[in-house]
Structure 1
Amino acid sequence: MSTDWDKLEETRDVMESAIAQSMVIYGVTPSVGRIYGVLYFASEPMSIDEIKVQVAMSKASVSNGLRELQETEMVTKVWKKGERKDHFIAEKDFLRNFINYFVKKIRQERNLLMKAAEQTKPAIRAIADQTEDPHIKETAEQDLALIKESQDYLDWTTRLANALESGEILEHIPPKKEE
């Protein structure tokens, strides 16, 4: 016969699994998502060994998963009095996790595309200015216009990232509906 604690554990398993599956959207594997789910419901910081038992993974896999979660600021390493082992807690604010993740991805995209644009724009401009072939000139000018549009988009995403980080966007789209 199931005890109330067993029933509670079963319901947690359902939520932990859902969290793990949803994290795939953010590029996190389900196993790493499971680590986050276990920490999310933990009432106290947990050691790698404690997490390992809960998620049925190797110590190395748990350690790598925790490192990945720390990089996205979804998990923090903490000191626990009287213990020598590292312990970990989950960031339980989903909105904070969302903002951290998207700001990081927006900035990665911007850096990649801006670097490429800075490298290619002068070469395309030189081709457009020096070619005598009207088709090549037209194509180069179209490419420059597309790069300009992409830079406008990247400027917008930078403003979006800044508004997310500062919390300014929450003034326009509050996390909770007003009642």
Structure 2
Amino acid sequence: MNKEINEKLTDIEERIIDTFAENMRTYGIPPTVGRVLGIMYMNRKPMTLNDLSEATGMSKTRMSQVVREMVDYNIAYKVFEKGVRKDLYNVEQDYYQRFISLFSSSWQKVIKKNKKMGKKIYEELTEIQKNENLDSVTEEKIVALLKETERWLAYYDWLDRLMDFFESEEIFKYVPK
């Protein structure tokens, strides 16, 4: 009876881990990261790269890459435990905070990239506009593209502020946990 219950519990944990992995796709993050996140979450205590390699069947090198990605996404962090010489890693246990970390880290990269591109395009258009030999059709096209670029930059500024709204946890004043 006890063996049967343990098997059911293991099956449930595995389904939870699979759900973590599948959910990562929503954020544009590889399911491998989600699988490791789920394993660490279900472990409920810090794990070494060796522990994770054994639990996932991945090489220690690959595990190191995955954990580094997780740290970059702010969903995993290194912890210190007295008497343990190997690096230990743990994951964010708070679902809300993990969502904010994943959501904002994914969007921050997009925002930064697109703001940079928008500024470059704006500068290029402004430089072209200085040309005295432009016909009226070309001038109109440049003006339209400049306006579109301004809207683009305003949108990414808004997204940047939205990420700040989430990261500051102001969101919870309006949408309580």
- Alignment-derived partner of residue 63 in structure 2: 62
Q: Is the 8 A contact 2:67 2:76 kept in 1?
A: yes
- 2:107 counterpart letter in structure 1: I
Q: Displacement of 1:115 after TM fit?
A: 2.1
- TM score, norm. by length of structure 1: 0.87
When residues 173 and 121 of structure 1 are mapped into structure 2, their CA distance, relative to the original with a 3 A threshold, is same
- Alignment-derived partner of residue 163 in structure 2: 161
Percent identity of the aligned residues?
A: 27
When residues 3 and 111 of structure 1 are mapped into structure 2, their CA distance, relative to the original with a 3 A threshold, is same
- Alignment-derived partner of residue 110 in structure 1: 111
Q: Is the 8 A contact 1:127 1:137 kept in 2?
A: no
Q: Displacement of 1:104 after TM fit?
A: 2.6
Q: Report how many aligned residue pairs link the two structures.
A: 175
- 1:46 counterpart letter in structure 2: M
- TM score, norm. by length of structure 2: 0.88
Q: Displacement of 1:3 after TM fit?
A: 3.3
Please, which runs of 5 or more residues in structure 1 have no aligned partner? none
Q: Displacement of 1:140 after TM fit?
A: 0.5
- Alignment RMSD: 1.8
- Alignment-derived partner of residue 78 in structure 1: 79
**SS of corresponding position for 1:104:** helix
**Runs of 4+ in structure 1 over 4 Å off:** none
Q: Are residue 25 (structure 1) and residue 26 (structure 2) matched?
A: yes
Q: Displacement of 1:35 after TM fit?
A: 0.9
CA distance in 2, matches of 1:35, 1:143: 45
Q: Are residue 88 (structure 1) and residue 124 (structure 2) matched?
A: no
- 1:15 counterpart letter in structure 2: I
146-155 or 27-36, larger mean C-alpha shift: 27-36
- Alignment-derived partner of residue 49 in structure 1: 50
Q: Is the 8 A contact 2:121 2:149 kept in 1?
A: no
Q: Displacement of 1:8 after TM fit?
A: 1.0
- 1:171 counterpart letter in structure 2: K
Q: Displacement of 1:43 after TM fit?
A: 2.7
- 1:142 counterpart letter in structure 2: A
When residues 33 and 121 of structure 1 are mapped into structure 2, their CA distance, relative to the original with a 3 A threshold, is same
- Deviation readout 1:84-124 (Å, 9 max, x if unpaired): 11122111112212212232333323322222232232331
When residues 112 and 37 of structure 1 are mapped into structure 2, their CA distance, relative to the original with a 3 A threshold, is same
Please, which runs of 5 or more residues in structure 2 have no aligned partner? none
- Alignment-derived partner of residue 149 in structure 1: 151
